[in-house]
Structure 1
Amino acid sequence: MSSEISVYEKQLIHEIEETPHEYLPNLLQIVRLFRESVVVKSAEDSFRQGWKEALAGETRPVSELWDGIDAE
């Protein structure tokens, strides 16, 4: 299995190298968001992160939470 990971790592590195430098911050954000979405945190860790964000003022008004979502 490690050889499969190595192949994927090489492909990822190649794609990163082919990405124009001005888009690297966006690519980094995509990769981080993906990783965070597939790694399940414990409820305690999730609460601690949310609490830390709330204390730091990293919040959004409830009225904005559904912006851009087409929920019928």
Structure 2
Amino acid sequence: ANLAPMLEERPSWGEKIQALGEVWPLPVLILGVIGSIYAGIATPTEAGALGAFLAVVIGVAKVRRFLGLR
């Protein structure tokens, strides 16, 4: 059964790329933490600290952007 309504227009590639702009922090955190462990740059403990640092930086960037909209 089709429960969701059908879209009248399909989104363009530009709209899809623009929508991805909202989810960029997740891949950045994942790649930063797991990538640093896999590359041998950091131990798991250090990678956890890197993840916490990246989360704070991303949070500050998002709050600044939000406050700029007001």
TM-score (norm 1): 0.32
Instruction: With a CA cutoff of 8 Å and minimum separation of 6, indicate the structure with the bigger relative contact order.
Output: 2
TM-score (norm 2): 0.33
